[in-house]
Structure 1
């Protein structure tokens, strides 16, 4: 395992391999946490400074043909500040035999400033290329801090002015979180922060690595607002209806900015078959789901028969309350990456907008069931208000496609069952309650 770009770095790729093999599975953004690593290699590396380097790492798992690539920003120093002690991967022998501690430099303020400075200056460095939009200046001298939120990437806020989102798992091609907001901004859509700068790989393949956008410092995410309302039993219907309108406006903007295609004649049948396959897989992993399989299969079968004449278009792809921000009395939409675990081509493809609606409806359900006293009536009222708002600004009424919406909700709930069983068993009752409700509904 070698990389000619690390010729003067204080550590070698061979020294990093065992550290990374132990450290990666513990990271929230590592998609192979439940699988053994069979091979790990550094495929590209660039020194940003004498003790700070950017890596593109390839990870393989036993019995799987596909591999995954991750970007890392690592530091190596004899002495690590106390605030970085919890970010240390391990210790290696450096030049002249002195011990060096390797750490996750994303959390190092000096390294974060260095990275933004490289983006601001632009140009190529090693396997990296830094870009910005014309006439867009990235300011310097901003103090960075990493957002402490549960997500599949890492976000660094600079001086409450900018936010840099680093895509931890990297796939070849342009990331939708750069592509979609940029295209929407060119078409006059103002409810998504437009990217100002970004960086990407130039070798061994092209891939978006990070995007810089304006940071909405005074905003509150929808999950926080909805959860507070559910716990305090306050009215959230106005916000839910506004969010429905905002989602409808977003879908219209996406349809205007990107191509829209008519769904093939067999689209619904194939989609229902895919939902059924996902259900069978989920039931094989989560025994609690098995008593509901027959009724869920019936939900998908009814969807296949009913069909849908909705056109296919670009959508958000992972829409929920955590992906929207409330600021200045309006909703703003962020994180257009889609589900990171899905192939990039699928995330950039055309899909039914019902998928986004179902994701938001499931999110209201989650907000209502967190805590010791579930509030299903609160969720149902918010869901109805959201759909009513969507009907006002979108191109169809969700209440008029109950069979289609129910199938998408059920498919989403099945996905949630697998996720919660693997990562948050205490939350498994939330999607399981939804599964039972959806089985009773038809």
Structure 2
């Protein structure tokens, strides 16, 4: 089989620009005519179900794969099918059962050592009304490290938050923005109760933002023109910062709108960061900055230029969230997020780069 030949066409494979020099099967088990495998591709592990040609075929064989090569951790058995694939996924593969009580089953494709934050965080806050509770998960021991392979959650039907925002006017989205703020506050409160919190000097946060800026400039050298001004913003932070576990990659696309509330999903954190870094405590204001930047994208998406829509929705979101203890820090995180977006759009969607560029200039002015 030739896994390397086929994986470059998979949506979940994020290293398409890199040459594949090595494919090593770390663990494998036959599943009918196919092979369930954990493969090290260059230096990264991936979970695959491949046919004799090396092409991933998990889409049509979920019921056969079940919890995969790992141990199923749950008070109930692995969900039974039939399953249908959830559209729109990229880094993972998710499936929904079609029985009376719907369950969503997520297969993590790129594997990193340690419990996946999606499982780790949500397992500790099962009673929070703004998350989908974890029903079980599968882990495997490889070497001296455990890897999360699969998780099952209660399936809560709802509309994608990003799609909903694009379909509304400023007047009608205000109430939604308020609910999003309330949902974000509820999740932050639950995480602060379930995991340790701390207070760190502003200088620690500032140095982290400066380090990230250096990394972003390496990815997109055109950001160097903002280095002096952005560094001054970060160095100007003065208040001690309360840190805790947070979502880490919060935006409108990481939310589901139900009839009466919003559900936050995908707690894995920013995918470009290493897992250990994503699991570090941070200020909840980073999540708020992510939502505010997402609102700005929605306002200017597809040629739109509705700054008043963004301003009103942002105000309602912050009102729903409640008091902000450090506006300067929130502004710094908004700047950091916009700089990250410039680097991302420059390398992936250059036609969109004007949206975060304008945000950077607003933040620095």
TM-score, structure 2 normalization: 0.92
Q: Select the structure with the greater relative contact order (CA < 8 A; seq sep ≥ 6).
A: 2
Q: Which residue of 1 aligns with 2:114?
A: 173
Q: Which residue of 1 aligns with 2:346?
A: 421
The alignment yields a C-alpha RMSD, in angstroms, of: 2.1
1:379 CA displacement: 0.9
Instruction: Note closer, same or farther for the CA distance 1:233–1:276 as it changes in structure 2 (3 Å cut).
Output: closer
Instruction: Note closer, same or farther for the CA distance 1:34–1:234 as it changes in structure 2 (3 Å cut).
Output: farther
Q: Which residue of 1 aligns with 2:316?
A: 385
Q: Does 1:144 align with 2:144?
A: no
Q: Which residue of 2 aligns with 1:206?
A: 146
Distance 2:130 2:181 in 1: 14
Distance 2:329 2:38 in 1: 41
Distance 1:279 1:130 in 2: 39
1:234 CA displacement: 4.7
Q: Which residue of 2 aligns with 1:68?
A: 44
After TM superposition, the structure 1 = structure 2 runs for residues 338-377 of structure 1, keeping only pairs within 5 Å, are 338-377=269-308
Instruction: Note closer, same or farther for the CA distance 1:299–1:269 as it changes in structure 2 (3 Å cut).
Output: closer
Q: Which residue of 1 aligns with 2:72?
A: 131
1:340 CA displacement: 2.8
Unaligned 5+ runs, structure 1? 1-14, 61-66, 77-90, 92-101, 120-124, 392-396
Asked whether the equivalents of residues 181 and 194 of structure 1 are also in contact (C-alpha less than 8 Å), the reply is: yes
After TM superposition, the structure 1 = structure 2 runs for residues 24-423 of structure 1, keeping only pairs within 5 Å, are 24-47=7-30, 49-60=31-42, 67-76=43-52, 91=53, 102-108=54-60, 111-116=61-66, 119=67, 128-134=69-75, 136-140=76-80, 142-159=81-98, 161-185=102-126, 188-204=127-143, 205-217=145-157, 219-229=158-168, 232=169, 234-264=171-201, 266-284=203-221, 287=222, 289-302=223-236, 306-391=237-322, 397-398=323-324, 401-423=326-348
1:137 CA displacement: 4.8
Distance 1:308 1:35 in 2: 42
Distance 1:425 1:33 in 2: 18
1:130 CA displacement: 3.3
Distance 2:359 2:41 in 1: 36
1:425 CA displacement: 2.0
Matched residue SS, 1:165: strand
Asked whether the equivalents of residues 31 and 341 of structure 1 are also in contact (C-alpha less than 8 Å), the reply is: no
Distance 2:130 2:24 in 1: 40
Asked whether the equivalents of residues 201 and 239 of structure 2 are also in contact (C-alpha less than 8 Å), the reply is: no
Unaligned 5+ runs, structure 2? none
1:71 CA displacement: 0.9
What is the number of residues matched between the two proteins?
A: 362
Q: Does 1:430 align with 2:355?
A: yes
TM-score, structure 1 normalization: 0.77
Distance 1:380 1:282 in 2: 30
Q: Note the alpha carbon deviations across 1:336-375, whole angstroms, 9 max, x for none.
A: 1112332222222211111111111111011111112221
Q: Note the alpha carbon deviations across 1:271-290, whole angstroms, 9 max, x for none.
A: 24324323432442xx3x34
Distance 2:6 2:363 in 1: 40
Distance 2:159 2:362 in 1: 30
Instruction: Note closer, same or farther for the CA distance 1:143–1:50 as it changes in structure 2 (3 Å cut).
Output: closer
- Give the greater-gyration-radius structure (CA): 1
1:408 CA displacement: 0.7
Distance 1:375 1:150 in 2: 29
Runs of 4+ in 1 over 4 A off after TM superposition: none
